[in-house]
Structure 1
Amino acid sequence: MRDVFDGSDPIVNRAIEIMGGHEAFKNALDADNAAMKSRWNQDTAAIGRILRAHLYVEHYLTEHLQQVNPRLGDLDEARLTFAHKVQLLDGNGPPAITYLIAGIKRLNKVRNNLAHSLAATVSDGDTATFLSCLSRFSNMNGKNPTEDPLDVLERFAEFAASTLHSSSSTFGKAYAQAIEEGCQPAIT
């Protein structure tokens, strides 16, 4: 491979000239390469955790929407975005689902920020939204959210997916029927 600075390429020579010489050209090239490396060298574990949480919730969001309205057809074939699926929840469903909408939207925002900035971050505002949604439910399966934002995001995603899945699970249907029949949950 030839050296770009060997003087044999007229385009490179002209670019060097336009940029003010070899030193400026090399500095700009080094800065660009460093910026690209920093974007490549992201925290892949954090990225994976965010993407897994988003995909997990989307799976059960799709399942829920198809269960409560089978006339929608195949949502995968319709190529609806995550945001469109959340809009289909519309806030008129069971309170447990309605309370989760803000957190589900926030999860999508975190994933979108990752896609557009390549930075795997969960802000304090994101964490507060997830905790607010979770705090509406008295029984958190004995788990207390930690202060680690990614842990809170994952706990929210697991809970949201479980709540969405309950519309199609055998247990969830039996539980809903018991409520419709007038049974009240035990207070612990």
Structure 2
Amino acid sequence: MAYPTLKVTYFDSPGRAEFVRLALFVANIPFEDERLTGEQFGARKQSLPFKQLPTLTVNGEVHCQSHAMARYAGSLGGLYPASDPLASYRIDEVLDADKDVVNALIAALFHPDATQKPALIKDLVENKLPVMLPCIEARLNSTGKYFLGDKLTIADIALYLMWKTLASGHWEGIPSTIMDGYPRWKAIAQAVEAHPRIQEWNAKHPAH
């Protein structure tokens, strides 16, 4: 299959671009992995559609919004069943829930007022995440290796990345045990992590 010429542009970190990078890499779709410094981003910022990263350049045309980018990548690579409205709806539901968690994390962990951060992180860990995470676990009620059975989708990649983030122990005030008690989510994350292409990516990017 002939793919369009693709370039993912972000900083030299996983962040919001890792979802798109993995969706393309797992599907064996060639892409340029462009990683900018803060200075390079500053010089380019005003030319970007939403003045932010990541971007996905498709045949020279720049596009934005990481989940839209991942859906496009998934459609190209067979990881997003656009021809099955209900299956794609279920994937979108997981992606939107994932985005809610990400936004909650950012609001607490990157709050500009350092004096408020401890209270915000405490509220996140004790009140917000204990409501949000069980809701996601409850929606992972299908059988099989992955979220929708035995075929990997972009929902599984999103679930894996969120699991990896929350269980890492790298974030101030968030215990590495916070994902204990979500067995289905854990099983999906472990299945994704064991995927040969994910292992290959992680071996090439050990700092991630």
Same fold flag (TM > 0.5): no
More strand by share: 2
Computing the radius of gyration from Cα coordinates, the structure with the larger value is 1
Q: TM-score range by the shorter chain?
A: 0.3 to 0.5
Identify the structure with bigger relative contact order (alpha carbons < 8 Å, sequence gap 6+): 1
Higher helix proportion:
1
